Structure 1
Amino acid sequence: MVQLDVFWSYSIGASLALSATHQLRSAARAPRHTPIDRPRWQSALTDPYLTATMLFCAGLFAPSGAWLLWGFTSWETMHAAPTHDALPVWLVAVFAATNTTQGVLGYLVTRWLITRGHMQWAFMQMVAGYFALFFILSYGWNGTGYQRFFSADATTFAHWTDAPASQNIRAWATSPVALTLYALLGMLVVVMLFIMGRWHADGLRLTGRLGPRPLVALGLWATTMIVTLAAALTTGLLVHLLGWIPTILFAAAITGGIVTRRNGIAERTVKLFGINDTTTHPLPATASLV
C-alpha cells in the first residue's frame, strides 16, 4: 500500500544491514589501501551490501508495489484514490522512487549506527519501520486502517458496517487482490530471508561462531513481526481510549525506559541472534552476497 511502503522499504534496508553487521564492522576497521581521501558518498557506493540492497528494492520491491498500484489502485491507496484517474502522476513517480530510496536510507542509517557500535539503535531502525507499517495497517489515520486493508474495493469499504467484520475479512482473503498479495509477498519474503541468512552466515564465520544459521534470519524477522504487530495493535487501542498525546508520551517512556536501556529488550535481542559480537576478523574474499 502506498501509505505503508515508505516504512516497509526502510525496514527492509535496515534488516539487510543488520544481517551484514559483522561484515560492515570489519570493513569499517580495515585499513584503507589508497592514499586518496574519497568523498564519503563515493565510499558508500563501493559497499557491495548496499548495492545488493538497492538491487533488491529496485528489482523486486518497487515493481511489486507498482503491480499492486496499477492492478488494484483503490486497495493500494487504502481507498483514498478509487481509480487511476484520481492519482496525480507525480505521486506515482514519487511512490516508485521511494520504494528504493527509503530502502537505501534504512540501510545507510543502520550501517552508520552499526559501525559506531550503537547496536540497540541499529536494531530499532528495523523495529520502528515495521511498527509504523503495522500501526497504519491496523489503525490508519482515523481508526479504519484494518477496514481499508480488508476491503478489496472502495464499495466494500464504504459498506463495511453492513456485514459482520468476519464476513468482510473472509471475502477479502479469496479476492484477486489478496491472491496477488500472497504471491508477491511470498516471493519478497523468501528472497529477503535467503539473502539475510547468507549474509548472517558469513558474519558468523568472521567471529568463528557456529549456530543455527538458516534459522537466525527467520527468527529475527519473525520475532520483530510479532512484537511490532502486538505493539501497533496496543498503541491503536490506547489512541482510541486515551487520545494521541497521552499515548505518544506513554510510548516514548516505554521505548526509552525498557527497549533502549542497557541490557534491555533491544540489547538482549541482538545478543540472542548473534548480531552484536564485536570480535570480528578481516572480511574474507570469498564472502557471499547471495
Structure 2
Amino acid sequence: MVQVDVIWGYGFGSGLATAATYQLTKRRDGGQDTMWASKYTTAMLLFIAVAFAPSGLWLLFSFPDWETMQVAHVLSDMPVWLLVAFGVTSITQGILGFAVTRWLVQRGKPYLGYLQSVFAYAGFFFVLVHGWDGRGYQRFFSEGYEVFATWPASPTFSDALSRIGDWFSSPVALTLAVMTVILLPLVLWMTVSWLRDGQRTAVAAGQLDRERSVGALIGWYFVGTWVVGLITAITASVIIHFVGWWIGVPITLALAYFGVFRTGTGVAWHVYRQWGLPPQQAGQPAANAARHPASV
C-alpha cells in the first residue's frame, strides 16, 4: 500500500544491511569498499528495484483504492507525478535504510543499525492496524472502497472476523499471495545466506561460538520483524483508542523502549543475539565483549 511501502522499503534495506553486519564490520579498518562498490548494495538494489517496487506498482494499477488505503477510488484520481514518486520512493527508501544501517554498523553501533528495521516494521504495522483514523485494519481488509464504506465505525468482533475472512478470497488477497511466494523466498535467501557467511567468518576468528541453523535464522527473522512489529502496533493502537494520541503516544514509546528496544533486556535485543550478531560494538575484539557491550 502506498502509505506503508516506503516504510517497508526502508525496513527491507535496513534488514539486508543487518544481515551483512559481519561483512561490513570486517571491511571497516582498511581496504573498505564504498557503498556503491559493494556487492551487498548491488544485491539489495536489484531486489528493491526489480522485485519489491514493481510489486507495489502492480497493486496500485490493479487495485488503486485498496493500494491507497481507500483514499483514491480510481487511478485517474491520482496525478501522474504521484504515481512516479511512489515508484521512485519505494527504491530510494530501501537505499536509505541500507545506507543508515551500514553507517551505524561501521561506526560501532550494530544493534542500533538492526533496530532500524525493527522501527520500520513497527511503523509499517501501525499504519496497517491503526492508520490515521483508527480504521487502518478496516481499510486493509476491504477489497475496494465500496466494501470499506459498509464497515461500521465500531464493528463487533464477530462481524470483523467475518469481513476479514471474506477478504482472504478476494482478488487482492490472491494477488498478494502470489507476490509473497516470489518476494519472501528471495529476501529470506539473501538474509540467511548473508548471515551465515558472516557467522562462518566470525566463528573462524573466534568472535562467535557457532553458526546458527537455517531454520533458527528463518524463525527468528519472522519473530524480529512480523511478530514484534505486529504486537507493538496492536498495543499502540489499543492504547491510543483508549486514551487518545496525546497520552497514548508517550505511553506507547515508553513501553516500546523498555519492552522491545532496550539493550540487554528488550525483545529486539534477544532476537538480535539469536541471529548471532556481534555482542559488542563493531570492530572491538571479542575478548572485550563483556567490558564493551553493544549499546544503542
The equivalent residue for 1:54 is 45
The 3 A distance-change label for structure 1 pair 18 and 193 is: same
Q: Does 1:187 align with 2:182?
A: yes
Check the 8 A contact 1:73/1:84 in 2, yes or no.
yes
The equivalent residue for 2:219 is 219
Q: Deviations over 1:76-108 (max 9, x none)?
A: 001100101101111100100011110010011
The 3 A distance-change label for structure 1 pair 122 and 158 is: same
> How far does residue 201 in structure 1 lie from its aligned partner after superposition?
1.1
Secondary structure in 1 aligned to 2:28?
helix
The equivalent residue for 1:4 is 4
Correspondent of 1:269 among 255, 266, 271: 271
> How far does residue 236 in structure 1 lie from its aligned partner after superposition?
0.4
Check the 8 A contact 1:2/1:76 in 2, yes or no.
yes
Aligned counterparts of 1:259 and 1:227: Cα–Cα separation in 2: 8
> How far does residue 128 in structure 1 lie from its aligned partner after superposition?
0.6
* Residue correspondence of structure 1 range 103-122 to structure 2 within 5 A: 103-122=94-113
The equivalent residue for 2:290 is none
Correspondent of 1:123 among 109, 114, 124: 114
The equivalent residue for 2:289 is none
Aligned counterparts of 2:245 and 2:119: Cα–Cα separation in 1: 18
Check the 8 A contact 1:200/1:213 in 2, yes or no.
no
Aligned counterparts of 2:232 and 2:253: Cα–Cα separation in 1: 13
Identity of aligned residues (%): 37
Aligned counterparts of 1:259 and 1:151: Cα–Cα separation in 2: 31
Check the 8 A contact 1:16/1:107 in 2, yes or no.
yes
Code of the residue aligned with 2:213 in structure 1: it is: R
* Residue correspondence of structure 1 range 205-216 to structure 2 within 5 A: 205-208=200-203, 210-216=210-216
Q: Does 1:150 align with 2:141?
A: yes
Aligned counterparts of 1:258 and 1:235: Cα–Cα separation in 2: 13
Aligned counterparts of 2:252 and 2:244: Cα–Cα separation in 1: 12
> How far does residue 257 in structure 1 lie from its aligned partner after superposition?
4.0
Code of the residue aligned with 2:133 in structure 1: it is: N
Q: Does 1:242 align with 2:243?
A: yes
The equivalent residue for 2:288 is none
The equivalent residue for 2:292 is none
Aligned counterparts of 1:78 and 1:100: Cα–Cα separation in 2: 20
The equivalent residue for 2:90 is 99
Aligned counterparts of 2:238 and 2:145: Cα–Cα separation in 1: 25
Aligned counterparts of 1:196 and 1:51: Cα–Cα separation in 2: 14
> How far does residue 228 in structure 1 lie from its aligned partner after superposition?
1.3
Check the 8 A contact 2:220/2:274 in 1, yes or no.
no
Check the 8 A contact 1:119/1:270 in 2, yes or no.
no
The equivalent residue for 1:35 is none
Q: Does 1:174 align with 2:169?
A: yes
The 3 A distance-change label for structure 1 pair 158 and 258 is: closer
Check the 8 A contact 1:119/1:267 in 2, yes or no.
no
Check the 8 A contact 2:196/2:212 in 1, yes or no.
no
Aligned counterparts of 2:270 and 2:146: Cα–Cα separation in 1: 46
How many residue pairs match? The answer is 272
Structure scoring higher RCO (CA < 8 A, sep ≥ 6) equals: 1
Aligned counterparts of 1:269 and 1:165: Cα–Cα separation in 2: 32
The equivalent residue for 2:206 is none
Aligned counterparts of 2:270 and 2:163: Cα–Cα separation in 1: 40
Check the 8 A contact 1:120/1:260 in 2, yes or no.
no
> How far does residue 167 in structure 1 lie from its aligned partner after superposition?
2.4
Aligned counterparts of 2:129 and 2:93: Cα–Cα separation in 1: 22
Q: TM-score normalised to the size of structure 1?
A: 0.88
> How far does residue 16 in structure 1 lie from its aligned partner after superposition?
0.4
Aligned counterparts of 2:272 and 2:192: Cα–Cα separation in 1: 15
Check the 8 A contact 1:9/1:100 in 2, yes or no.
yes
> How far does residue 210 in structure 1 lie from its aligned partner after superposition?
3.4
Check the 8 A contact 1:6/1:98 in 2, yes or no.
yes
The 3 A distance-change label for structure 1 pair 253 and 169 is: closer
> How far does residue 72 in structure 1 lie from its aligned partner after superposition?
0.6
* Residue correspondence of structure 1 range 36-55 to structure 2 within 5 A: 43-55=34-46
